[in-house]
Amino acid sequence: MKYILIIVLAVMWLWSYIKFRRKMKYFSVMVGYLIRQVEIMPRPDVKLRLACALTEIQKYKDAYDIYSELLSTGNYIPNRDQAKLNLEFCSSPIPGINSPKNLRWSWWHNFVLFRLGRRRYNFLTEEDYLATNSILRNM
Report the range of poorest mean pLDDT among 6-20, 57-71, 93-107: 93-107
Give me the DSSP letters along 8-66. Answer: HHHHHHHHHHHHHHHHHHHHHHHHHHHHHHHHH---HHHHHHHHHHHHHTTBHHHHHHH
Q: Residues 11-35: what's their mean pLDDT?
A: 95
Task: Tell me the pTM.
Answer: 0.89
Domain with 70, as residue range(s), is 2-138
Report the range of poorest mean pLDDT among 11-25, 56-70, 101-115: 101-115
- pLDDT per residue over 27-50, tens digit each? 999 999 999 999 999 888 899 999
Q: What is the number of domains present in the chain? A: 1
CA 132 to chain centre: 14
Residue 98 has pLDDT above 90, yes or no: no
